[in-house]
Amino acid sequence: MERVTVRLDDPPVVVNLGVGVHGITTRRDVFLLPDLWQLHLYGYAARLVVGGTTHPIRPGHVSLIPPGQQVQYFYNGRSEHLYAHLRLPDAGQARTVPLMQDAGAETPLLGGLLQQAVAVAHAVPAMAAAEVWTVLWHVVRLAEAQGPHAAVRTAIAHIESNLAEPLTVPDIARAAGVSHNHLTRLFRAETGANVVAYIRRRRLEQARHLLRESTLPISAIAAAVGIPDLQAFNKACRRELAAPPRAIRSRGPQGPGCA
């Protein structure tokens, strides 16, 4: 087994978590959890066999094993890992991740979250579940970072951080570490839109939010979303939101959508 499918739209039910110590009395463990997922963050070198597939374990590796899978661990001596046994939702968006990944620079963060979960598990189980849920989302993001769309995520982060500034596709591509043409292809494949259309949509979504939820002057909102020319801002609102800024504002927080 190389990859697993998880659904994380709702928090996990954490049944048990702690620090596992193995490899002292025996160099091999074989077991199965019929109904529970296994999340492990490793601090040692060993081997894991799941479904006939061997996964090398190194310090900083993280694994996510689905219920009903027999696992075999082959240790080289005393071995410690942080673990959580949990149930995941059956509904929600399916996300496929490698069963075993190298957490790399994320290792201290994941370790800190799991240690905090262990510390509060008995006193505040809901908080422990929240910490484990965060770890699971990081595991998903690790998998995404290994794919070609990592450049798209970097580009989107750059756009979202600079909506008030002039944005050009070549500048965004440089921030994402890819060529202009490559970013254009990746962006359309991942989002279904081109980069310019995405920027325009996000600026106007932010403008609509600020018009309806804040008391900022319209001129300040226009500047905040990177369209400081009020005439251009008015035209953009009419074109993208089907109403001028003042009309959008008059609908208030509970008004009907404008998109």
According to DSSP, the β-strands at 61-65 and 94-98 are: unpaired
Lowest mean pLDDT, pick from 5-9, 143-147, 163-167, 216-220: 143-147
Q: Is the pLDDT of residue 146 over 80?
A: no
Domains defined for the chain, CATH in brackets: 3-145 (2.60.120.280), 150-251 (1.10.10.60)
139 contacts 101 by C-beta, under 8 angstroms: yes
For tokens 């008995």, the residue is 122
**Helices then strands (H, E): number in the chain?**
9, 11
- Flag whether pLDDT at 144 surpasses 80: no
Report the pLDDT value the prediction gives residue 252, as an integer from 0 to 100. 66
Q: Rounded to two decimals, what is the model's pTM?
A: 0.65
Question: Considering the chain, what is the average pLDDT of its residues?
Answer: 91
CB 205 within 8 A of CB 174: no
Q: Give the number of other CB atoms < 10 A from CB of residue 202.
A: 17
The phi-psi region of residue 20 (left if phi > 0; otherwise alpha if psi is between -120 and 50; otherwise beta) is beta
Going edge to edge, which strands form the sheet with 61-65? 13-22, 79-87, 37-42, 61-65, 100-102
